[in-house]
Structure 1
């Protein structure tokens, strides 16, 4: 069975984010780049995360640190809150990246800034909003259609 893409798109990972990870295609929008970066966190593709991080905003960030960050949490769903049309050189995407730590399911809520470097979209930085804790009766962010208590929190 084909794996639906981790980014929440209805297409298969092999047709959605994987071609970006393998550098066969480039992200056409900040949202597409952000979705592919989320999938890279899920799959542990730290090199892709590093390569798509704007060089001017890395501040000592390295592939080893990114690999550790990928392993720290189990990512379970992505929710796009806002993705306004970008300008020709910059854009923003607000999202909630749901992850599981122990028995808790939390969301990293961020408004990310992106800009183009040599014609390619790169992640610059993000404004982190307060962490959200998933309630037992909330819809499960994995997309299964169940309440959280029946899926992730059960």
Structure 2
């Protein structure tokens, strides 16, 4: 995995603004279990950035695994570049909870196309460990025309992805 050779000061891809070594790396390396649903979701996003299929499988609720889970996750990880993550809302998912929800938007690039994954993910904790259970895909965020574009281009939405084509 790429994490072990990274600079100690490198920021974590999950958007926390913390160094990777003090954020998601201990979870991905198996040193610690994510203490909250949000921490698990952020670490799974980071795992997608690093194409860490083993971690993604390990943190998915076991009943969701299918014969082709590894193949599907690998295909997604290899075809998509994840560019940014924004957590929009959380419900429960604290260390003392048994379930949690995290709503987020992840910006990605697949080939020459930029897109966003807007999802409300459900998490469950069993035997002290959080697992991704399932997610509901939500409509893409549509900022107001004079607000910054969701793709982080620095342009206003109307001048970027809000253009009528």
TM-score range, shorter chain: 0.7 to 0.9
| 1:105 shift after superposition | 2.0
Whether 2:88 is the aligned partner of 1:81: answer yes
Alignment map for 1:9-88 (pairs within 5 Å): 9-86=16-93, 88=97
In structure 2, the residue matched to 1:100 is: 109
Structure 2 unaligned residues grouped into runs of 5+: 1-6
Contact 2:11–2:19 (CA under 8 A) maintained in structure 1: yes
**Whole-Å Cα distance in 1 between the matches of residues 120 and 83 of structure 2?**
19
Contact 1:46–1:67 (CA under 8 A) maintained in structure 2: yes
- State TM-score, norm by structure 1: 0.83
Aligned length in residues = 148
| 1:68 shift after superposition | 1.6
Contact 1:74–1:99 (CA under 8 A) maintained in structure 2: yes
**Whole-Å Cα distance in 2 between the matches of residues 36 and 110 of structure 1?**
16
**Whole-Å Cα distance in 1 between the matches of residues 85 and 24 of structure 2?**
13
Deviating runs (4+, > 6 A) in structure 1? none
| 1:101 shift after superposition | 2.4
| 1:61 shift after superposition | 4.5
Q: Structure 1, residues 48-71: CA drift from partner, whole Å, max 9, x if none? A: 000000001223343232122111
Structure 1 unaligned residues grouped into runs of 5+: none
In structure 1, the residue matched to 2:148 is: 138
- State TM-score, norm by structure 2: 0.78
**Whole-Å Cα distance in 2 between the matches of residues 12 and 70 of structure 1?**
23
- Cα RMSD for the two superposed structures: 2.6
In structure 1, the residue matched to 2:3 is: none
